[in-house]
Structure 1
Amino acid sequence: MSLLELDVSASPLARRNPVAKLAAALVISVTLLLSIDAVSAGVSLVATLLLLPICRIPARALWLRTWPIALGAVIAGAATVLYGRPDGQIYFEFGLLRISDGSISLALAIVLRVLAIAVPSIVLFMTTDPTDLADALAQILRLPARFVLGALAGLRLVGLLIEDWRELSLSRRARGVADTGRLRRFVGQSFALFVLAIRRGTKLATAMEARGFGADVERTWARPSRLHPADLGLVLIAAGVAAASVGAAVAAGTWNFILGLS
């Protein structure tokens, strides 16, 4: 099993409807996007981490999916510390570089905000099967079946693209055309992968049309997607986390409604 693979059957989130997970993620994300402050983001992030044991998601599996976003958040925070708007006491100044109380607090808020939005979204969607998500989007949200099934088919081919890239690397190395010129090798291999993807996509589109995926008739579904009371409970938990983060920020006096900024 790959390090990125995860058996989600034991997680309670795996049994929740994907639409409910999408709603829960949106509730938390939209709330955190309304303000740039460390308190609301920190409270939301801590609450999410405290709920992880209940979700039964291995910390290693979560970290493997989160570290690129965490690295980006740290880089953004470092840039904000150095180039953010100065406010309060200035600790270091050289040319355009200026570290102050304001830039440090803003950088902390940005890092926590990115993580507070990313972590619950990753937790919710790493326990979602793509087919279940497509069923829910088409049956509950009434999105066009043609679009949903096409997106599902494309998502299912991501693993094949990874395998194609690996096989191209091995075949080019066996022919001796991948020994020098790393940039040239990458460009040539990317173009070859692009051609393979177009050919496979064309064949898949033809096969789907032949099976009636593009017909203008009412579609039936093999697996009905329905909402249950537990799905509402998941959304209410997300709303509780969002309300707690806003309440803590307002009580601390750090709530900074971005739509009210000039």
Structure 2
Amino acid sequence: MISSINPSIKAFAVLIPGIMLGFTFDVFTPLLYFLFILGITFSMTDIPTLRWLKLFSPFVLIALGFAWMTVLYANQTFSYGEVVFSLWGLEVTTGSIQTGISLALRSLCFGALSLLFILTTDSTKLMLSFMQQCKLPPKITYGILAGYRFLPIFQHELQVLKQAHRIRGVGRTKGIKGRLNQFRRYAIPLLANGIRKAERVAIAMESKGFTGDKDRTHYHQMKVEKRDWLFFVLMIGMLAAVFILSYYLGYLNIFGKRY
């Protein structure tokens, strides 16, 4: 299962294809790799299909918006081919349509890769892996982890503040001035509570002997095993295979230059 893969290896296995796909402007390459990502997501993870579709639906809307704007406002490099139709004085060519579809598919690939990483990665293990495998300073990793843990607390405190104001007869105000006053009523208590919690966490970490030294032992040891490298080779190797196949079929297009 992908959830057991080392987070650092998984991050690079997702980041490299995302960067490489950004150089392609044909339809075939991102489409084939997007189908591969879908196969990996639904065969090697336990992500519920309905939940994945709900989270992925915003990426579809964003991809359609990117495609539409690219079709209408493609530059001269990508406006090759015959004119298909004109809209509002803008000529839409076969090249601009292909570029728009390619951009949409790349956006879908980025979204699918992001969900694959986010939904199968534990935040604590991710920070530990960055600290142990990537040698990220403990001050940064523990700071990020502490801030991430504060988010649900702030959300709960915001709900408590809203309920307290509602009990005291302070309802939602209208207008820009009213919204600013409402934001100030919420922001000041949350900021004060955040400062107090940060001080308590800092004192607690110092009392436990945390100094930010890199030469430290870890209760949870994050190891890189054979299966981690197999997953990395699978993701990068499939990307290379898609590029090679696209090249031999004559579809590969990098920055508007067909190979």
Give TM-score scaled by structure 1 length.
Answer: 0.83
1:101 to 94, 111, 115: 94
- In structure 2, give the amino acid aligned to 1:171: A
2:86 to 89, 92, 100: 92
Aligned-partner Cα distance in 2 for 1:259–1:221: 49
Aligned-partner Cα distance in 2 for 1:78–1:147: 40
Aligned-partner Cα distance in 2 for 1:258–1:198: 48
Which residue matches 1:137?
A: 130
Q: Deviations over 1:15-74 (max 9, x none)?
A: 111112112102321221222222111111001112222323211222233233332222
Aligned-partner Cα distance in 2 for 1:168–1:124: 34
Q: Deviations over 1:2-27 (max 9, x none)?
A: xxxxxxxxxx1121111121121023
Gaps of 5+ in 2: none
- In structure 2, give the amino acid aligned to 1:251: Y
Indicate yes or no: 2:56 matched with 1:66.
yes
User: Alpha carbons of 1:182 and 1:176: their partners in 2 closer, same or farther (altered >3 Å)?
Assistant: farther
Aligned-partner Cα distance in 2 for 1:103–1:156: 45
Indicate yes or no: 2:27 matched with 1:38.
yes
Aligned-partner Cα distance in 2 for 1:230–1:145: 27
Q: Which moved more, 1:45-54 or 1:162-171?
A: 162-171
Indicate yes or no: 2:13 matched with 1:14.
no
Alignment RMSD: 2.5
Aligned-partner Cα distance in 2 for 1:259–1:196: 53
Aligned-partner Cα distance in 2 for 1:64–1:37: 28
Contact 1:137 1:143 in 2 (8 A): yes
Q: Which moved more, 1:240-249 or 1:141-150?
A: 240-249
Aligned-partner Cα distance in 2 for 1:108–1:70: 12
User: Alpha carbons of 1:87 and 1:166: their partners in 2 closer, same or farther (altered >3 Å)?
Assistant: farther
Which residue matches 1:4?
A: none
Describe the SS at the equivalent of 2:253.
coil
2:201 to 201, 204, 219: 204
Which residue matches 1:153?
A: 146
Aligned-partner Cα distance in 1 for 2:175–2:91: 38
Which residue matches 1:123?
A: 116
User: Alpha carbons of 1:168 and 1:78: their partners in 2 closer, same or farther (altered >3 Å)?
Assistant: farther
User: Alpha carbons of 1:181 and 1:207: their partners in 2 closer, same or farther (altered >3 Å)?
Assistant: farther
The number of equivalent residue pairs is 249
Gaps of 5+ in 1: 1-11
Q: Tell me the CA shift for residue 158 of structure 1.
A: 1.9
